[in-house]
């Protein structure tokens, strides 16, 4: 039953991707319905009695679930059709991943409440920086479109969606707002992982691949914000830092878990 619901969520997301921009109210309602259904099914699949299902597919699905909420809220203040056609297809794919890659169950007996808070904050950090990465991609496309010949620039439904985006300066302001909030959440994730490592993972803190990639991503986003504050970094420099930082963060958990679970078939806790 859950598999069918995951597929239904994916179909709703895909359907909203291709609805014309003029159907703004319909898109908003259907996305909201799909988002609620997505959250409900994901919760019932991940949370069990005294146990929690973990894995790259659950993290990715939860991340895109929060990202859809961020898009929906932002779209009420700005016209972000370009973001819609990037986020919703990715959310559709992420919605069905738990049905294909179920991950494994981790018992919660003896786990500190910090464990759950660490997971929630890390998902929020991933989600915020995922939306920031989508914003960066849109800004790259938007900027390149400004240098395209007018006759070519008006071709295609995606081009129309790009034309409806706010001005680049407004998009940049939104981008740095997302990065600042995501960096704050990522900082809490790093601190909780370092300080409460024994309670979270039943072992002392150590420098493994996940920690190194997370710290590197944290440093990149921190450097970007510092450069913005004191050197006025913007434009392609900001976009390059954003996309690089996000790619490194993706490798920290989702990428490594995918390799371990799917390629190497290891059971992880």
pTM over 0.85: no
What are 103-136's pLDDT values in tens digits?
A: 777 776 766 677 777 788 888 888 888 889 988 8
What are 13-24's pLDDT values in tens digits?
A: 999 988 887 788
- Looking up tokens 């991933």, which residue turns up? 126
Rounded distance between C-alpha atoms, residue 261 and residue 82, angstroms: 33
The neighbouring-strand residues paired with 107 are 51
Lowest mean pLDDT among 1-10, 167-176, 253-262: 253-262
Cα dist from 190 to 122, 151, 183, 186, 205, whole Å = 9, 49, 10, 6, 11
pLDDT band at 219 (very low <50, low <70, confident <90, very high): very high
Res. 86: pLDDT tops 70: yes
Tell me phi and psi for residue 48, to 5 degrees: -120, 180
pLDDT band at 223 (very low <50, low <70, confident <90, very high): very high
Instruction: Report the candidate in 104, 114, 96, 110 with the shortest Cα–Cα distance to residue 37.
Output: 96
Question: Could you give the dihedral angle defined by the CA atoms of residues 106, 195, 211 and 126, in that order, rounded to the nearest 10 degrees?
Answer: 70
């Amino acid at each position: 039953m859950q598999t069918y619901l995951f597929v239904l969520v994916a179909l709703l997301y895909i359907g909203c991707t291709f609805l014309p921009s003029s159907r703004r109210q319909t898109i908003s309602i259907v996305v909201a319905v799909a988002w609620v259904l997505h959250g409900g099914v994901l919760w019932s699949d991940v949370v069990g009695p005294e146990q929690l299902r973990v894995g790259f597919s659950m993290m990715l699905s939860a991340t895109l679930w929060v990202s859809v909420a961020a898009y929906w809220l932002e779209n009420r203040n700005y016209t972000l059709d370009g973001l819609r056609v990037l986020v919703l297809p990715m959310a559709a794919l992420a919605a069905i991943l738990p049905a294909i890659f179920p991950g494994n169950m981790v018992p919660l007996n003896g786990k500190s409440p910090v464990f759950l808070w660490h997971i929630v904050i890390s998902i929020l950090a991933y989600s915020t920086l995922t939306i920031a990465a989508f914003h960066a991609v849109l800004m790259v496309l938007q900027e390149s479109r400004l240098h395209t010949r007018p006759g070519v620039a008006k071709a295609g439904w995606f081009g129309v969606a790009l034309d409806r985006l706010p001005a680049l300066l407004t998009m940049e302001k939104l981008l740095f707002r997302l990065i600042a909030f995501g960096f704050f959440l990522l900082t809490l994730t790093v601190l909780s992982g370092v300080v409460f490592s024994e309670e979270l993972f039943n072992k002392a803190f150590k420098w493994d691949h996940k920690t190194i990639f997370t710290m590197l991503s944290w440093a990149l986003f921190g450097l970007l914000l510092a450069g913005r504050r004191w050197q006025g970094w913007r434009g392609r420099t900001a976009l390059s830092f954003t996309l690089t930082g996000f790619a490194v963060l993706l490798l920290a958990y989702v990428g490594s878990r995918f390799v371990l679970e799917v390629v190497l078939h290891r059971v992880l806790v």
